[in-house]
Amino acid sequence: MRSTPESPEAAETARRARFGKLPERIPLEEMVEERAATVPDPAKDTYNADE
pLDDT in tens, 15-42: 888 888 888 999 999 998 888 888 877 7
Q: How far is CA 31 from CA 4, 20, 24, 34, in A?
A: 43, 25, 14, 10
Q: Which of the 8 DSSP states describes residue 1?
A: -
- The pLDDT score that the predictor gives to residue 22 is 85
Q: Tell me the mean pLDDT in the region 3-11.
A: 75
For residues 13 and 7, give the distance between their C-alpha atoms in angstroms, rounded to a whole number. 10
Examine the pLDDT at 1 and tell me if it is beyond 60. no
Confidence label for 45 from pLDDT (cuts 50, 70 and 90): confident
pLDDT for residue 25 = 93
**pTM reported for the whole predicted model:** 0.33
